[in-house]
Chains A and B, each alone.
Chain A
Amino acid sequence: MKQLFYIIFFALLLFFSCKKDPITNDPTPAPLSSIQVNLNNMVDDSLLVLNKNYFTSAGDSFMVSKFKYYLSNFVFTLEDGSEYTEPESYHLIRHTNGISSFTITQVPLGGYKAVRFMIGVDSTHNVSGTQPGDLESSYASDMFWTWSSGYIFLKLEGTAPKSPASDKLIEYHIGGYGGKYKTQRDFNFNFGFGRLNVLQTKLPVLNLKVNVNEIFKTPVAIDFSSLPTVVAGGFYAKQLADNYADMISLKSIDNP
Chain B
Amino acid sequence: MMKSFYSLILMGLLGLSSCKVDPVIIPVLPVNDLREIVPQGWPAAKYTFSVNAISAEAFVLGRSLFYETLLSKDNTISCASCHMNKAAFSNPDHNLSHGINGILGKRNAPGIFNLTWHPYFMHDGGINHIEVQPLGPISNRIEMAENINNVISKLQGTDKYKTLFKNAFGTEEVTTQRMFRAMAQFMGLIYSYNSKYDKVIRNEEGMVFTEAESRGYALFQANCNACHKEPLFTDFQFRNNGMRVDPQVNDSGRAHITNQAIDLYKFKTPSLRNLAHTYPYMHDGSLATLQACLDHYTSGVVNITNLDPYLQSGGLKLSAEDKKDLIAFLLTLTDNTIASDSRFADPNIK
Stretch at the interface among B37-45, B55-63, B85-93, B126-134: B126-134
Of B127, B148, B176, the residue contacting A149 (CB under 8 A) is: B127
Bound complex: CA A145 to CA B15 (Å): 44
Contact (Cβ within 8 A) A146 B176: no
Is there a chain A Cβ closer than 8 Å to B342's Cβ?
A: no
Q: Which A residues are CB-close (under 8 A) to B257?
A: 148
Tell whether A146 pairs with B177 under 8 Å between CB atoms, given A127-B129, A130-B132, A232-B259: no
Stretch at the interface among A132-140, A158-166, A191-199: A132-140
A140's closest neighbor in chain B, by CB? B149
Q: Which A residues are CB-close (under 8 A) to B128?
A: 126-127, 149-150
Is there a chain B Cβ closer than 8 Å to A111's Cβ?
A: no
Contact (Cβ within 8 A) B131 A129: yes
Bound complex: CA A136 to CA B181 (Å): 13
Is there a chain B Cβ closer than 8 Å to A131's Cβ?
A: yes
In the complex, how many angstroms separate the beta carbon of B175 from the nearest chain A beta carbon? 6
Q: Which of A130-187 contact B (CB under 8 A)?
A: 130-132, 136, 139-140, 144, 146-150
Bound complex: CA A10 to CA B144 (Å): 57
Bound complex: CA A131 to CA B51 (Å): 11
Report the interface size class on chain A: 10 to 19
Bound complex: CA A97 to CA B344 (Å): 50
Q: Which A residues are CB-close (under 8 A) to B105?
A: none
Is there a chain B Cβ closer than 8 Å to A201's Cβ?
A: no
Is there a chain B Cβ closer than 8 Å to A128's Cβ?
A: yes
In the complex, how many angstroms separate the beta carbon of B279 from the nearest chain A beta carbon? 26
Is there a chain B Cβ closer than 8 Å to A110's Cβ?
A: no
Report the interface size class on chain B: 20 to 34
Contact (Cβ within 8 A) A130 B131: yes
Interface of A is mostly: loop
Bound complex: CA A147 to CA B148 (Å): 14
Of B148, B149, B152, B177, the residue contacting A131 (CB under 8 A) is: B177
Contact (Cβ within 8 A) A147 B176: no
B176's closest neighbor in chain A, by CB? A139
Q: Which B residues are CB-close (under 8 A) to A130?
A: 129, 131-132, 176-177, 180-181
B52's closest neighbor in chain A, by CB? A129
A127's closest neighbor in chain B, by CB? B128
Contact (Cβ within 8 A) B130 A146: no
Tell whether A147 pairs with B126 under 8 Å between CB atoms, given A129-B180, A132-B177, A136-B175: yes
Bound complex: CA A148 to CA B136 (Å): 8
Contact (Cβ within 8 A) B131 A146: no
Q: Which B residues are CB-close (under 8 A) to A232?
A: 259
Tell whether A149 pairs with B177 under 8 Å between CB atoms, given A140-B148, A144-B135, A232-B259: no
Q: Which of B158-190 contact A (CB under 8 A)?
A: 175-177, 180-181, 184
Among A136, A139, A144, residue most surrounded by chain B Cβ atoms (within 10 Å): A139
Q: Which B residues are CB-close (under 8 A) to A147?
A: 122, 126-127, 136, 140
B134's closest neighbor in chain A, by CB? A146
Q: Which A residues are CB-close (under 8 A) to B140?
A: 146-147
Is there a chain B Cβ closer than 8 Å to A234's Cβ?
A: yes
Bound complex: CA A129 to CA B149 (Å): 18
A232's closest neighbor in chain B, by CB? B259
Give A residues with C-beta under 8 Å from B.
126-132, 136, 139-140, 144, 146-150, 232, 234-235
Additional 8 contacts, C-beta under 8 A, given A130-B180, A147-B126: A128-B129, A130-B132, A130-B181, A131-B177, A136-B176, A140-B176, A144-B132, A149-B128
Lowest 8 A-B CB distances belong to which pairs?
A: A129-B131, A149-B128, A130-B177, A146-B135, A148-B126, A129-B129, A130-B131, A146-B139
Q: Would you list 26 pairs from A and B whose C-beta atoms are within 8 A, ordered by A residue?
A: A126-B128, A127-B128, A127-B129, A128-B129, A129-B131, A129-B181, A129-B184, A130-B132, A130-B177, A131-B177, A132-B177, A136-B175, A136-B176, A139-B176, A140-B152, A144-B135, A146-B135, A146-B136, A146-B138, A148-B127, A148-B256, A148-B257, A149-B127, A149-B129, A149-B132, A232-B259
